[in-house]
A and B are shown apart, each in its own frame.
Chain A
């Protein structure tokens, strides 16, 4: 009732603001169909009535990061016809002992699976997993499952680098369009990227994005500015502005607030977003956005528990599983042919024709990367332990679900890398 009223009000407000902001431009921003849509989830198994799953979330729906997890929960709940009592969500659980307490409470309430969504939850999830061996503990973005040696603790991630690669293609084509229109020369094509931390997950993300752009616009370069926080609207906005002032022609980001997209809209610089479409507030700059869809993983773990099967220690969902999705393309901003180019690339990635981190497509110190030891097994000294390059490409996310590509390749400049 209240929610309905609220959404009605919001809709009215939006309408008003749309009318108020109605620019003389005729063409309205509209989203095309997604070149990489969500997959249909099919429930070919029956979930027991006494099955319960608990979720531990770092924040609540105000954070786009957590909202993404929550939306997936709603989807799965509907597909599997789960009752309210079967799905318990604990929001605003910090990365501290509180996470262990929450996990314990969820077990106490009878959960068969406990899922936590923040990197810092991991140690406390392991602590709980050691204590409650008959409950499955699944943790998104973590790195320790394959070394923890626990049968009931699992890590999960998605090959979001593939999604970013595809989004990068859209960015590259936009740059090409602007070069053709004579706005700047090919050599001046530069992307700005707002990152959270100088951390493998982010580095893998911006590198794949860059390589995607480079696959269509070979002269492109990139500058990265880190904020040192996953969510800091002001920091992200000023980082984006700084990049724009440094003549970046297009911006993308890996951080959770609206800071960077709104800075782009203010400056009229095209933006490739993350974690969802920002077309409503940025109709003139939004191109496309990639995100992880967690619903396939939820389906997978529930199915495993229902059927009594083992859950994979590391699970990395890709394009096939539907873990990586793209929003529709903003036809007003995106270059012509973007949709087709991405659909084409999706097919090639699926078939294996395109490897995102193909060592032929980038250099490190002007040399081809022949060998690279990645830090896959977490230990106190952060030792590099595993050879990651096979068959001419960097094999991301195969040794463990969380990204471990942390190579600094040519063409990308880190403006600050101290975090």
Chain B
């Protein structure tokens, strides 16, 4: 390659406590290229980038910018070296306008004039193809617009090296495509772009080169054109991983949970759930797709007894005695006392599902500590359960007494899911259960969910990775802005269709119970069903599913 070198790292090492986040990393970035940083979760991608951006300081090693050794001790230093980072979590002042946020902290010795800033922002926008109103306040913006502000903020400071930490995690496919166009334009303008991502297809479609990190070490940097998905995966995880997720046919599905006309508002009085109606069947995995913040959390929390509903019904069919109970506005305790075995793996694992500062045993106790009439807690049984989970799910932990916050994300999730399925639930809800997990841990979770499904549990799975949703779920319900925009069949839907449904914010509320029966001519998306709801998983559906199975898994 005869391109100029923009940035070079030599022997970068960084320890957190005794754990090496980065070990002896060498990396070269050229001018005018997009370099993807690929790696499993916890492989040290973000740490490495933070060292370039001045958030952390390396324990060992040197960084060269434009051939000169650079000492980057703060983000301010980083800007002196024309390096800027766009973090996963935006750092913007909500009540300020775009321009005000962009100019905040810039000390260029010039007289401050918001007009000049606005013009400069528009100039940058035009150059790279952003769409932005410099006067718009941050709190009025969509996630994608906020990201745009972050990027312009960095460009405004004259950055030539841009680092983006998982920029597509919060974007719809359409927005992602637009972002990629912009990034390409920047590359053509001579900028160096480092992009952190998990998503292989994005890597392949966008980058010029890919640097792969594994366990803090730099494995290789390859030209994107000369590689493919399986090679990258192999380098990432160190061995060939079966990409296909196992999926069995739903066995004897019956309606377990029947939600009708659920409405809820949040603290600001904004409607977060809008006429939600659906059924969840035993023995199936019902996926819920949607852009982050479309009401997924409120939906699950309403069922779990944590979200107050304005109206609606949540009917639970007890498989033991066939009784039907309404869970609406019951507390978690009341729900359990009704004999409803409902398990819930919340999105916020350490903040909600577990107590970070407690050890595994005490976390096991969360669900069961009330058992018995003694006023003292019994730690023997939770300890046994903890040992079982550590053993059967291969949880990596220094010991039973380690606070769970010290475990890696995957192990935390195994502990949480392990506890939730230990009560043999009849309904299992999991919100983003593989977010931030490496591939191996993710598959452990998929297997656990599938096992529950085979045991006849009604599994509700809220996911963000559309590929996973499509491969794991029997049915996928798509919500957008608190409304159901469609229920589709997992085996026969494409990502693009889901993407369309996810962004249909202004669609009319989806009617009634839009799942079954499905005829031989399975429509991709059932708009409405006039007939009374059918409680049994119909034979027609089974036939369809069988046929699909025979044809082989899609993709």
A and B touch in the complex (CB under 8 A): no
